Structure 1
Amino acid sequence: MLQELTIRNFAIIDEISITFSEGLTVLTGETGAGKSIIIDAVHLLVGGRGSSEYVRHGASKAEIEGLFFISEQHPCFEKAHELGIEIEDGMLILRRDISNSGKSICRINGKLVTLAILRKLGSTLIDIHGQHEHQELMNETMHLFLLDDFGSEEIDEQLADYHQKYNVLSETEKKIRELSKNEQQIAQRLDLLQFQVQEIENAQLSLNEDQMLEEEKTRLVNYEKLFESLKEGYENLQNERKGLDYVSQAMSVLETAADVDPRYKELYESVSNSYYMLEDTARSIRNELEILEFDPQRLNEIELRLNEINQLKRKYGPTVEEILAYLAKIKEELESMIHRDSTVEQLQKEQSIQMKEAKEAGKRLSRLRKKWAKKLINAIHQELKVLYMDKTVFDVSIKEQEMTPDGLDLVQFYLSTNPGEPLKPLSKVASGGELSRIMLALKTIFSKRVTSVIFDEVDTGVSGRVAQAMAEKIHQISVHSQVLCISHLPQVAAMADTHLLISKNITEGRTRTVIRSLNKTEKINEIGRMISGTEITPITKKHAKELVEIAYTLKTK
């Protein structure tokens, strides 16, 4: 859930900090006070599109920060792990700064992230629904995904199986298309591949050859330095200064000491072992000196070979290993092209089998969708009945179509709002108020899948008993999910577990948004204002009190 929200220099907000609770939080206030601006801020916090227009006049940047508490079972944990973000103690802090030049800086738990990552994680935290969501409901391409979401416990597995088979088929079809290009393209590609194969094979590359050549080149280029170092090291041990003689003398006297007192035996053995080790090392240095030689011809050969390898690297890959991998790849392609007729024939056989498997998977998916469509229809009818749309008929049409990445089904929602009227596409028959109720019915069904839901004036276009029914539905959703709701309906405000009043005042010639939590008396007065307008009469105050009492009774059932 969203626990804390801090907003600075955002539109008409200079600085506010809001603590949210579980359940239903309703935000009310006069038009223009800044209610929707707060929702805009949350939308930007979870990855919405930003603009310099959001920055308060005279400020260099707008700042939005939100603290979320999430359970370990929340899908956000898995998404954060995929994105390389650590979550400790179930706390997640999102921050977004927008400069007056329009640039955004996004952070998650203090780590800088891209806007795309913020959006991916944010989509698992907040579900924002406003008037634009009605347009989404009208968009018929979204109906398939809504159905799949509803039946996800069964559909997801079958959809994944279909995707796998569809992708295999698509890859085979792509290979067939590549091999079926016109003759001129094929001939040109064939010539290029033959040249590349010949060029790489003629080089007779071996793994790590370049590394070994570079090491040998380094030794030859630094011959004098190596020779002088080895020579001086050997002389320090064996020649004029005879360093080993001193170690030998020390070994001899320590042997005498050990014969007198066994306590010194360990010292003697340590020096003795060191002497013989140094003696072996001196012999090894002498052997290296004897074989060390400078061969300018060999250095020239190495440089020519490295130059040849580097030319291949510029064409085919940054390492010898990648060049050889590329060779294997183009040899396979070349083989396919040389025998493309038989290859295409084989691929077409595979395509036929894969097409059959994909269609069978698609039909299994379609059967599941039809099964869950019936459940969705029943669930929507139950919800609409409570919202006083009991005469409304909702239907899910599933028609077979050509194979697509999402299956064989064309899914459309149909509606008849009046008895005797035929079912028509949802986009052609629903009014604004009806769409609000249909969307709320869907959200009621889906609410257990999300953590925080924001409703931005989704109750527009309704009144009376429908308004009361919508208020009860919104509260029902808040039982399973934290709900933040901007509303102009007194019935919705009465159902609030927390009521926040948004207002604005003018200080030193600047407009500021102010937010405060209302106690019971203040809540009744605000609901009275929502009922009557500016003047609160004893009658409207009594009505407001009754609404609050009715709401309390409904919530404690």
Structure 2
Amino acid sequence: MLRSLNVKNIALMDNINVEFGEGLNVITGETGAGKSILVDSLNLLFGARGDKELVRMGQNKGFVQGCFNLPPGRADALEEMGLDCEDDCLILSRELTSDGRSSCRINGKMVTLSMLREVSSWLVDIHGQHEHQALLKSENHLSFLDAYAGEKAIQARNMAGKAYEEYKGIQRRLHGDWGTDEERARKIDLLKYQIDEIQMAELEPGELDELNSERSRLLNIEQIAQGLNECYQSLKEDGAALDLIRSGISAINSLGRYTDDFNELAQRMESAYYELEDISGELSEQLDASENDPRRLEQVEKRMEVISELLRKYGDTEQKALEYMHRAEEELDELLNAGQTIENLKIELEQKQLELVEKCDLLTAVRKNAATQLSEKIKKELAELGMEKALFQIELDKKQPSQDGADRAEFMFSANPGQPLKPLTKIISGGELSRLMLAIKGIFAQRDMIPTMVFDEIDTGISGRMARVTAEKMAGIAALHQVLCVTHLAVIASMADRHYFIEKISTPDNTVTRLSLLEEEGRINEIARLTGGGETALARGHAREMLEACAAYKHGLKNNT
């Protein structure tokens, strides 16, 4: 749930702080007051493209921040992103500068835009005019269907996508340019040379790092020997550390005739003495080994040159060079057996094609089942929205297999009795489109786990009795999700659990947008304005009746759920 929103220096909004509640949160206001700016701010917060024109004139940057409840089951995913969440509170913020640069943060930590979008997808679904347009493009209909089909479609589509990639991979290899006999011979000679060059070097992973360390030691052998000698003398020289510790041990052991209190300290000093004596022995061995050896330095540097040259050609580490050699050996084997390789690839391609068809058929079956269910549910929702005679059907046609299967979906629609089903994209009106989208949203709301839904003027083209039905649908969705709704319909405003009024305030020098939560009298006045009756006694009385009727409807809805 979106708890609160802060918008600073975005268009006409200089500094807006607002807290939202559960249920239906409605925002109304005069045309041009800034309702679309509020939605633009939300889109910016959730990862939309940052247009520098959004930054308030005269300001260096704009800022949007939202505080959300973390949805159940998302804590692990958040932790995988390296993000913490205390008290299940998730704070998203986006800053946009006047030169078009933007930065994103989650709980104060800088994140990428893609991370912000992913987290936002858990939290909010924004529906606006762009989604109306999405319905009018038949290439989007398959996405709507798969979204309804849910996890079954995701799994089946992933399997079909994997089978398609495997099929295309074999196809690319089969149709690759095997070249003429002369070209293959040249390629074979090159591969043999490369393989031999790497094999002869007898590379070992990590060898160059070890040689570099040894080279550094050989180049600085005098300084190393001097340091080792000083350390050794500080331990073994007459009167040095070991002699002093031995004297200390004798002194503390002599106290044993009087008390046992110092026995443990004596044991610890003896342990330290033997440890240091052991260290002095190792230092002596290192000193003996620290002789200047020009020939070894020359060997190390030559070996480093050989390895560096190989890594320059075949990979920046020994492991990558060895991997290159293995790939070269596979390619050489294919070229040496080109005829047999091509036959093997043809057989494998046929097998992959059968697997692809099988996976696509499974996906088609899932989609057909979902299409039947969704079509029936949409018809039922449309009937409740006053389109009792409307027909709706999702047609699936076959296409060439691709990453998303072998289906093409088309939403078919007829608004009037006796009229045949035709592609929705060609015949639906604006009001019908709004009702269809509301029907789809109502269906998805029953399955969707996203806690907050934002509707930007979904009531476009709707009036009269349908406005009342639309308001009831919104209340039904709000019983399952937090809903933020920008509307111009009085009946939807009357259905609100919280009603906000947005207004533009102008002075001779400045213009700002303000957003405020309306109390009872303020709601009555605003609903009266929305009905077109102004603030007359008659209009205010009608507004009260609408509020009472909507309150009664919501009470009944609550009792039935």
- In the aligned structure 2, how far is the partner of 1:154 from the partner of 1:31? 44
- Structure 2 residue aligned with 1:154: 152
Secondary structure of residue in 1 paired with 2:445 = helix
- In the aligned structure 2, how far is the partner of 1:446 from the partner of 1:422? 27
Q: Of 162, 165, 168, which aligns to 1:164?
A: 162
Matched, 1:514 2:535: no
Is the 8 Å Cα contact of residues 71 and 123 (structure 2) preserved in structure 1? no
Is the 8 Å Cα contact of residues 258 and 268 (structure 1) preserved in structure 2? no
Matched, 1:139 2:137: yes
| CA separation of 1:230 and 1:147: change in aligned 2, threshold 3 A | closer
Letter in 2 for 1:530: L
Letter in 2 for 1:555: K
- Structure 2 residue aligned with 1:44: 44
What stretches of structure 1 of length at least 5 have no aligned partner? Answer: none
Is the 8 Å Cα contact of residues 72 and 90 (structure 1) preserved in structure 2? no
- In the aligned structure 1, how far is the partner of 2:200 from the partner of 2:535? 95
- Structure 2 residue aligned with 1:403: 401
Is the 8 Å Cα contact of residues 442 and 473 (structure 2) preserved in structure 1? yes
Is the 8 Å Cα contact of residues 436 and 459 (structure 1) preserved in structure 2? yes
Q: CA deviation at 1:394?
A: 0.3
Q: CA deviation at 1:65?
A: 0.8
- Structure 2 residue aligned with 1:548: 547
Secondary structure of residue in 1 paired with 2:146 = helix
Letter in 1 for 2:543: A
Is the 8 Å Cα contact of residues 71 and 451 (structure 2) preserved in structure 1? no
Q: CA deviation at 1:322?
A: 2.5
- In the aligned structure 2, how far is the partner of 1:301 from the partner of 1:338? 38
| CA separation of 1:235 and 1:123: change in aligned 2, threshold 3 A | closer
- Structure 1 residue aligned with 2:559: none
Is the 8 Å Cα contact of residues 161 and 403 (structure 2) preserved in structure 1? yes
Matched, 1:492 2:496: no
Is the 8 Å Cα contact of residues 179 and 337 (structure 1) preserved in structure 2? no
| CA separation of 1:256 and 1:337: change in aligned 2, threshold 3 A | same
Letter in 2 for 1:167: E
Secondary structure of residue in 1 paired with 2:316 = coil
- Structure 2 residue aligned with 1:3: 3
Letter in 2 for 1:506: S
Is the 8 Å Cα contact of residues 179 and 344 (structure 1) preserved in structure 2? no
Matched, 1:173 2:192: no
Cα distance per residue 1:360-392 (max 9 Å; x no partner): 121122112111111111100110001111111
- In the aligned structure 2, how far is the partner of 1:5 from the partner of 1:361? 45
- In the aligned structure 2, how far is the partner of 1:250 from the partner of 1:166? 79
Is the 8 Å Cα contact of residues 179 and 340 (structure 1) preserved in structure 2? no
Q: CA deviation at 1:210?
A: 2.1
| CA separation of 1:52 and 1:292: change in aligned 2, threshold 3 A | closer
Q: CA deviation at 1:91?
A: 1.0
- Structure 1 residue aligned with 2:410: 412
- In the aligned structure 2, how far is the partner of 1:208 from the partner of 1:13? 59
| CA separation of 1:527 and 1:284: change in aligned 2, threshold 3 A | closer
Matched, 1:198 2:187: no
Q: CA deviation at 1:445?
A: 0.3
- In the aligned structure 1, how far is the partner of 2:455 from the partner of 2:475? 12
Aligned-pair identity (%): 38
- Structure 1 residue aligned with 2:369: 371
Cα distance per residue 1:46-68 (max 9 Å; x no partner): 01111121111111111111111
| CA separation of 1:212 and 1:515: change in aligned 2, threshold 3 A | closer
Equivalent runs, 1:74-473 vs 2, <5 Å: 77=75, 79-178=77-176, 180=178, 189-235=187-233, 282-448=280-446, 449=448, 450-473=450-473
Cα distance per residue 1:267-299 (max 9 Å; x no partner): 666666666665555555445444543221221
- Structure 2 residue aligned with 1:536: 535
Is the 8 Å Cα contact of residues 143 and 412 (structure 1) preserved in structure 2? yes
| CA separation of 1:125 and 1:189: change in aligned 2, threshold 3 A | farther
TM-score of the superposed pair, with normalisation by structure 2: 0.91
Q: CA deviation at 1:109?
A: 0.8
Letter in 1 for 2:22: E
Is the 8 Å Cα contact of residues 248 and 275 (structure 1) preserved in structure 2? yes
Superposition RMSD on alpha carbons, in Å? 2.7
Q: CA deviation at 1:43?
A: 0.9
Letter in 1 for 2:111: V
Secondary structure of residue in 1 paired with 2:78 = helix
TM-score of the superposed pair, with normalisation by structure 1: 0.91
Letter in 2 for 1:556: H
Secondary structure of residue in 1 paired with 2:479 = helix
- In the aligned structure 2, how far is the partner of 1:63 from the partner of 1:184? 65
| CA separation of 1:327 and 1:134: change in aligned 2, threshold 3 A | same
Q: CA deviation at 1:527?
A: 1.5
- In the aligned structure 1, how far is the partner of 2:175 from the partner of 2:431? 51
Secondary structure of residue in 2 paired with 1:3 = strand
Letter in 2 for 1:486: V
